[in-house]
Chain A
Amino acid sequence: MTATLSLADVTLVLGDGDETVTALDRVDLEVDGGELVAVVGPSGSGKSSLLAVAGGLTSPTSGSVRLGDVDLATASRRRLTALRRQRIGFVFQSGNLVPALNSLDQVRLPLTFGTVSNPRDPRQLLAEVDMEHKAGRRPHQLSGGERQRVGIARALVTRPQLLLVDEPTAALDRHRSQEVVALLAREAHQHGVATIMVTHDHDVLHHCDRVLEMIDGRLAPVVAERG
């Protein structure tokens, strides 16, 4: 079976001249559909760089990044934008919601960027993340956990193959953190979404199928962390 996301020998060097940092160092990673993979590690170890490369936000210095049959490392900027719109979902720290939009419009938003085949129903998706009762609320009227739930619904509305999650529990208390990651695991498993979650929060790792550790740009499995 072919993995949904496949990184092979990926290196990312940031900076110019003498001031260079190897953010990713010969990283190999495969994530299957329906799998939730957690990536832990200290700040500056390269976790966000991994998401950036996997999501087509930046091109690796070397190596290949394949999403299904597409090599993101060689795709044009326009193609990458279309891929992010149609096949990749992002969940950011604190939700990163648009202040002007209510919850329902946040979920509708990605569908306005261009053609999306077979999207999910925004209102139904909002109900699935238990936020239908706050469909008309704007971000400043929601708690941190609620904002993350809306952010997750926004990321899933296009039925992405790949979901990239950046520190989803950074601003949440322990209880809300468990709820949010449980929701991510449920959505990944039920809808067959390959999911990579970058986190510092070791209390939520038991929801994940695999846990990897990033240290100085290198990726390694952490068997002991499994829940």
Chain B
Amino acid sequence: MFLALRELSFARGRFALMGLVVSLIAILMVLLSGLSVGLVNDGVSGLQRMPVTSFAFQEDVTKDAAFSRSVLELDAVTSWADQPGVADAAPFGNTLVNARTDREVEIDLALFGVELGSFLDPQVTKGSALAGEGEVVISQTAAEQGIDVGDEIVLEPSGAELTVVGVLPDQHTFGHVDVGYLSLPSWQEIKAGVRPGDIVPDRVYDEITAVAVRAQDGAEVDLDAGDKGAGTTSLTLEDSFGASPGYTAETSTLQLIEAFLYAISALVVGAFFTVVIVQRKHEIAVLRALGAGTGYLLRDTLMQSLVLLVLAAGLGVGLGLAAGGAIASTSMPFALEAGPIAAATVVLVALGLLGAAVAVLRIIRVDPLTALGGNR
């Protein structure tokens, strides 16, 4: 580090310029990470917060639209409950609706129909839990839009009414729409388009979207065997995220952008150090003639790039967090989480270091003989 730190200080303008580029990439990376987490939260936080290990859908359902297309009969729940390793199995209904409150707040809701008292029946932070038909508990994010406990929600176009009895902790959204939990019979009537006063056929109360399965602690449920017994198609909870509207398209687009960003970072840092080493070629020859080993020179240059990358990435992440904090307070789907940002920073620094490593291998080819004579 003797030479590395002095070089950084001496050529600070040149290194600052390079650091600025890395900082800008880091800022962009933080913002992308925030957007990515925000979109995931908006897309599937309602599913992420369910105590579920897998969902069993209708057999041969299109997997990327399973929640909207799947229709199962209730007896599939019994079949899944009897599977080895299954702690709980409960019916689950899912449908998207447009609604308006009695205070004229317009809202779209993802209605999750659950059996009251089952392991899917959610806890609330405000109001009370579901106790009967015609009740709904809503996501914290829906409450932030002006809906409160006691409000009446009228679904369009059926005119079915739900009373808000409680508010869920945190964000619960599905496909960028706020989640509302309600009893399974209420959900089944809404799904069937039953209007107030209609006679409801019995078959309506036999249809669900999926069977929600919770495995016993430490147990691994044989999904194929369960599917065979129940005539279903299972997806693990994580795989089921792909069945949320737009989830795969959004996340894969952002992942592609992030991957390009990392590649650009590695290339930019590599190109910079290539130029630096070409400029320092005679100096490196002198150092080698004086007895500096290849290991010393490689270590010194890599440590220099590490210091530069860490400082620049640190600055960029700091600025990115400040900008992200401002964005998070808007309606954009944006959420800053330490884990993804830390991981992205490590990848950014590691790939930058890899780019620098490829560049500094040129040091090996510098001949100390060129230090002699008029070679400069």
Contacts and interface: CB of A to CB of B under 8 A. Distances in A.
A145 B365 CA distance: 32
A161 to B, nearest CB: 13
Interface string A72-103: 00000010011111101010111010111100
B288 A98 contact: no
Nearest to A87: B291
Contacts of B293: 78, 81-82, 85, 113-114
B157 interface: no
Contact of B291 (A51, A81, A108): A81
A193 B288 CA distance: 21
Interface string B261-298: 00000000000000000000011001111111110100
Contacts of A60: none
Interface string A105-133: 10011101110000000000000000000
A98 B291 contact: no
Interface in B360-376: 368-369, 371-374, 376
Contact of A90 (B282, B283, B289, B376): B289
Interface stretch (B1-9, B158-166, B202-210, B305-313): B1-9
Contacts of A109: 2-3, 287, 290
Interface string B197-233: 0000000000000000000000000000000000000
Interface in B129-188: none
Given A93-B374, A96-B371, A98-B286, A114 B291 contact: yes
Given A90-B371, A109-B2, A99 B283 contact: yes
Contacts of A84: 289-291
Interface string A17-35: 0000000000000000000
Contacts of A108: 2
B291 to A, nearest CB: 3
Contacts of A92: 286, 289, 371-372
B225 to A, nearest CB: 62
A75 B356 CA distance: 32
A99 B11 CA distance: 10
Interface residues of B, number: 26
Nearest to B11: A100
A108 B3 CA distance: 11
Contact of A57 (B2, B3, B296, B369): B369
Contacts of A85: 290-293
Contacts of B289: 55, 57, 84, 90, 92
Nearest to A83: B291
A138 interface: yes
A57 B372 contact: yes
A166 B370 CA distance: 12
B3 A98 contact: yes
A142 interface: no
Contacts of A58: 369
Nearest to B5: A100
Contacts of A114: 291, 293, 296
Contacts of B282: 96
Contacts of A154: 290
Nearest to B369: A57
Interface in B325-376: 368-369, 371-374, 376
A109 B3 CA distance: 8
A166 B372 contact: yes
B3 A100 contact: yes
Given A48-B372, A57-B369, A90-B371, A113 B283 contact: no
A137 to B, nearest CB: 13
A29 B286 CA distance: 25
A34 to B, nearest CB: 22
19 contacts: A48-B372, A78-B293, A81-B291, A81-B293, A81-B294, A84-B290, A84-B291, A85-B290, A85-B293, A86-B291, A88-B291, A92-B372, A93-B376, A96-B283, A98-B3, A100-B10, A108-B2, A109-B290, A113-B293
Given A93-B374, A96-B286, 14 more contacts: A48-B373, A81-B291, A88-B291, A92-B286, A92-B289, A92-B371, A93-B376, A94-B376, A96-B282, A98-B287, A101-B10, A113-B293, A113-B296, A138-B10
